């Protein structure tokens, strides 16, 4: 993959980071203080709930964790089946699968209400499945500093490798952009969820669809490049 194609892939992953912020806003603010994208936070919330902390739910956190793991298994199997072939087919298929799950979650949210237990758990399951597929895929891509769902190591690298720490600021733009896009996605999600539970899910599904298309076009060029040079 050329540097130009990697840069385009990085932009697509930044788009997916925006979608993560939207989903974090939905899950935490509208689904009962649970995370469906950030499993570190979700495991901590589950521990708090087990310890009896108010405002948290053992079933919701446990369902989210279970659905995420199922999604990750599905993402891993998808990679095992398609990754030996063209990259654009594997990654675009994974991102498209995520988009479909998010749009189904939006339909379920629109059909139900925030108070409808079935709708709440359905949205938790669908968004957590989508994020499991995504995380398995991004882990396999292994583009440095673009996990799309967590920022702890990104922020650590931004500080520890900075000029203040005696470093050379490698990939500083990518790390900074990752933090910024997560922030903007979460802020947009917090604003949108005030009006509708479905709306931020629709937006996140559209973003993921756009990233799937962008990846398909970019990596198809990269996959074809060797044969073109030949």
Residue pLDDT, tens place only, 187-213: 999 999 999 999 999 999 999 999 999
- Please state which architecture CATH assigns to domain 8-223: Up-down Bundle (1.20)
- Mean pLDDT within 29-51: 95
> Is residue 230 predicted with pLDDT exceeding 50?
no
Task: Quickly state the pLDDT bin for 87 (edges 50, 70, 90).
Answer: confident
Pick the more confident residue, 229 or 215.
Answer: 215
pLDDT at 114: 53
pLDDT at 229: 36
Entry pTM = 0.92
- Mean pLDDT within 118-146: 94
CA distance readout (Å), 131 to 24, 70, 84, 176, 210: 11, 10, 23, 22, 16
Other beta carbons less than 10 A from residue 110's beta carbon: 15
Residue pLDDT, tens place only, 145-157: 999 999 999 999 9
Domain-wise residue ranges, the chain: 8-223
Among 1-10, 50-59, 149-158, whose mean pLDDT is lowest?
A: 1-10
């Amino acid at each position: 993959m050329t540097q130009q194609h990697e840069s385009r892939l990085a932009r697509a992953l930044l788009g997916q980071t925006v979608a993560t912020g939207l989903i974090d806003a939905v899950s935490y603010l509208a689904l009962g203080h649970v995370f469906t994208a950030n499993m570190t936070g979700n495991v901590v919330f589950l521990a708090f709930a087990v310890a009896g902390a108010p405002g948290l739910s053992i079933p919701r956190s446990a369902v989210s964790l279970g659905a995420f793991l199922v999604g990750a298994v599905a993402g891993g199997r998808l990679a095992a089946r398609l990754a030996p072939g063209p990259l654009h087919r594997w990654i675009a298929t994974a991102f498209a699968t995520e988009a479909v799950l998010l749009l189904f979650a939006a339909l379920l949210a629109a059909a139900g209400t925030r108070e409808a237990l079935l709708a709440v758990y359905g949205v938790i399951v669908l968004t957590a499945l989508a994020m499991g597929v995504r995380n398995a895929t991004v882990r396999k891509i292994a583009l440095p500093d673009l996990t799309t769902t967590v920022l702890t190591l990104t922020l650590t690298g931004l500080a520890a490798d900075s000029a203040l720490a005696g470093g050379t600021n490698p990939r500083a733009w990518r790390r900074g952009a990752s933090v910024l896009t997560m922030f903007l996605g979460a802020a947009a999600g917090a604003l949108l969820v005030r009006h509708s539970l479905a709306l931020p899910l629709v937006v996140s599904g559209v973003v993921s669809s756009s990233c799937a298309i962008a990846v398909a076009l970019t990596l198809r060029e990269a996959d074809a490049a060797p044969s073109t040079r030949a």
